[in-house]
Amino acid sequence: MEILDKINNLQTQIEAFLIENKEQLEQFRLKFLSQKGEIPALMDEMKNIAPENRKAFGMSVNQLKNLATNLHKEKLEAFASVVTKTQAPTDLTLPNAVDELGSMHPLTIVRNQIIAIFERMGFNQSEGPEIEDDFHNFTGLNFPENHPAREMQDTFFLEKNPDIALRTHTSSVQIRVMESKQPPMRTFSIGRVYRNEAISARAHCIFHQMEGFFIDENVSFADLKQTLYHFAKEMFGQDTQIRFRPSYFPFTEPSAEIDISCDMNNPKGCQLCGGSKNICKGTGWVEIGGSGMIDPNVLDNCGIDSKKYTGFAFGMGLERMTMLKYRIKDLRLFTENDLRFLKQFEGIEG
């Protein structure tokens, strides 16, 4: 009889327990449901119950336990939904919380460095379109009719006859500037160029070039050399050496490939390759671009008197220079957006 009273009493207590907040809910749990709570304590009484009454007793205690557990669950859910209701609803159109500042892309860093160096030498910046016509990309630059760059497999043509293509080099900006002004002119241009190439560690169908040129009376190859020598030292360190190798471009005569020394301290070493010699191939020199004296035909094509004026021009690859300067081994890293790569350029001044 006594035990029945106990069960009834506990039931009344459970039903009457005041649960208006989370703290009271926890007190409820501790009092009735926890290991040392009243319901497990009641269970322990089983051993004192006569065997024939044990089944009925067990069922009563289980009912109590279910009552308390359900009440607890119900209140827990109710409190949880109150909390969500009082929180401001999430506005999915808001921008993400910004807690980190990004860093400049390595190509942007090098681009800005190039701009600063050439501006200090009195060059101004020019621009030209990335979609070019045949004259500005090829004919004006003295490209012969059957030059391989004019083939479909080398260039992305958008239209044929008359030809419109994605520019294959920034040399097209030379023509644009020369058409619109008379010398003296000392200018450079930086931008994207396109070639129909498979993407690999060393090539991409989209890349960047910088182009510079200087036209005036009595401009000579010595001026070209000194300009590029100064640039190479500013860009890669004061011990950098440069070397010119005879070459051919339709728009310059004479033409030369520009190399810089791989080891800034020792022309035979391999510092740019990080000792691996996989960039300079053990020669101690790496190519960064092409250059030359502007062909008189090009000046004439643009209405500049080639008897009065001479000029030099050069074009260099930004990816190439960036890879050399920061010892980047794979060109694809520039476009993969991998934070482990990009974060290494945090804090580098551009």
| DSSP result, 87-107 | SPPP-TTSPPPP-S-----HH
* Token pair listed for 10: 């506990």
* Token pair listed for 238: 């004061």
Position among 106, 128, 140, 292 found at the interface with ligand DAH (CB under 6 A): 292
Position among 189, 227, 291, 301 found at the interface with ligand DAH (CB under 6 A): 291
Query: Residue 327 phi/psi, 5° resolution?
Result: 50, 50
Identity of the residue, 128 or 315, whose beta carbon is nearer to ligand DAH in the bound complex: 315
Whether the bond between 267 and the residue before it is cis, its omega within 30 degrees of 0, is: no
155 binds ligand DAH (CB under 6 A): no
Site string for ligand DAH, 250-289 (x = CB under 6 A): --x-------------------------------------
Among all residues, whose Cβ is closest to ligand DAH?
A: 315
The region of 7-15, 47-55, 106-114, 308-316 touching ligand DAH under the rule CB under 6 A is 308-316
13: CB partners within 8 A, 6+ apart: 32, 38
Position among 71, 215, 313, 323 found at the interface with ligand DAH (CB under 6 A): 313
Q: By the 8 A CB rule, do 298 and 140 touch?
A: yes
CA–CA dist 261, 286 (Å, integer):
7
Identity of the residue, 270 or 288, whose beta carbon is nearer to ligand DAH in the bound complex: 288
Nearest approach, Cβ of 252 to ligand DAH (angstroms)?
Answer: 4
- Binding residues with ligand DAH: total (CB under 6 A): 11
Identity of the residue, 211 or 259, whose beta carbon is nearer to ligand DAH in the bound complex: 211
C-alpha closest to that of 313 among 195, 207, 185: 185
290 binds ligand DAH (CB under 6 A): yes
Identity of the residue, 284 or 289, whose beta carbon is nearer to ligand DAH in the bound complex: 289
Which residues from 198-227 bind ligand DAH, rule CB under 6 A? 211
C-alpha closest to that of 220 among 142, 303, 292: 292
99: CB partners within 8 A, 6+ apart: none
Amino acid at 326: Y
334 binds ligand DAH (CB under 6 A): no
Nearest approach, Cβ of 170 to ligand DAH (angstroms)?
Answer: 7
82: CB partners within 8 A, 6+ apart: none
Kindly list the residues in this chain that would bind ligand DAH in the complex (CB under 6 A): 169, 171, 211, 249, 252, 290-292, 313-315
